Amino acid sequence: MSAYFPDQPAQGDSNGISRLPKDLRRQQLISNAARVFASQGYHCTTMDHIASASQVTKPVLYQHFTGKRDLYLAVLDEQIELLLTNLVSPLHGTNVNKERVKGVIEAFFNFARTNVVGYRIIFESDIQTDFAVQERIESMHTRIAEHIAYVLAPNAGMDFSEAMMTARMLTGMTQAAAHMVVGTETSAEQLALAERAVFRLAWGGISIIDEDWE
């Protein structure tokens, strides 16, 4: 979940207002903006809302971002990188292909469950028709598929383009399944059931691509 960074008085500041280092201030604004965008949507959010959530004046926002869209893209970039990190890790944590598939699916569901803000920003945004947003989302899907394909192709005896197509279908299935259950009143048991069902479908398909896979 995105963190909230309240201001604290800084020593030597005659106004009693903290003057955070530039990088830390930028991170504060991105984190609080993520929370506001996820709860209100892009179109209903104003820079005033984000300034209020961050306990700064609106001019401070414009010291770091050219406008609301620029800030939103920074939020989106951060959440995409976090998702990528979570999904790629299981691919390199084991040499057992079944565990790799299971790990990637678990990582996606865990991201959706534990980082609702990030999940909404990436997959449920009301600004997904924006070209820059579409470009980032497509790039994200391509990068995820590439990581999977680099592992899948040599293991399954597939050429890279076929492995890329297979990887995109697998991640698309996982995303669709998560969308059905995440953010509803679904119980933890039902979420776990959905996750297991996706794994069975994914591994059932992958395991027969190459007869040498166990």
* Average pLDDT of the residues in 158-185: 82
The answer on 152 and 49 residing in a single domain is no
CA atoms within 13 A on the CB side of 83: 30
The candidate with the shortest Cα–Cα distance to 199, out of 86, 94, 98, is 98
Q: What pLDDT is attached to residue 186?
A: 65
Q: Is residue 43 part of a domain?
A: yes
Look at residues 47, 65, 83 and tell me which one is the last residue of a structural domain: 65
* Average pLDDT of the residues in 149-172: 86
Residue 7: CATH number of its domain: 1.10.10.60
Q: Rounded CA gap, 171 and 193, in Å?
A: 18
Place of tokens 């048991």: 189
The answer on 59 and 43 residing in a single domain is yes
List C-alpha distances in Å: 39 to 33, 49, 65, 126, 203: 10, 11, 21, 11, 35
The answer on 45 and 9 residing in a single domain is yes
Look at residues 27, 42, 65 and tell me which one is the last residue of a structural domain: 65
- Output the DSSP codes for 10-63: -TT-TT------HHHHHHHHHHHHHHHHHHH-TTT--HHHHHHHHTS-HHHHHH
The answer on 142 and 54 residing in a single domain is no
Q: What pLDDT is attached to residue 5?
A: 43
In the chain, the number of structural domains is 2
Q: b/e map of 31-41 (b: 16 or more CB within 10 Å)?
A: bbbbbbbbeee
The answer on 32 and 132 residing in a single domain is no
Least confident of 61-65, 105-109, 140-144, 182-186: 182-186
Could you report the per-residue pLDDT of 98-108, keeping only the tens digit for each? 888 889 989 99
Look at residues 28, 47, 65 and tell me which one is the last residue of a structural domain: 65
**Does 50 or 177 have the greater pLDDT score?**
50
The answer on 132 and 78 residing in a single domain is yes
Place of tokens 């300034």: 51
pLDDT above 70 covers a percentage of the chain that reads 85
Could you report the per-residue pLDDT of 14-29, keeping only the tens digit for each? 444 457 788 899 999 9
Q: Is residue 212 part of a domain?
A: no
Q: Is residue 147 part of a domain?
A: yes
Q: What pLDDT is attached to residue 1?
A: 44
Q: Is residue 211 part of a domain?
A: no
- Contact between 16 and 8 (Cβ < 8 Å): no
The answer on 54 and 151 residing in a single domain is no
Could you report the per-residue pLDDT of 28-76, keeping only the tens digit for each? 999 999 999 999 999 999 999 999 999 999 999 999 999 999 999 999 9
The answer on 42 and 61 residing in a single domain is yes
CA torsion angle 153 159 162 164 (round to 10): 50
The pTM of the full predicted model, rounded to 2 decimals, is 0.82
**Does 71 or 184 have the greater pLDDT score?**
71
- The residue range of the domain holding 8 is 1-65
Q: Is residue 199 part of a domain?
A: yes
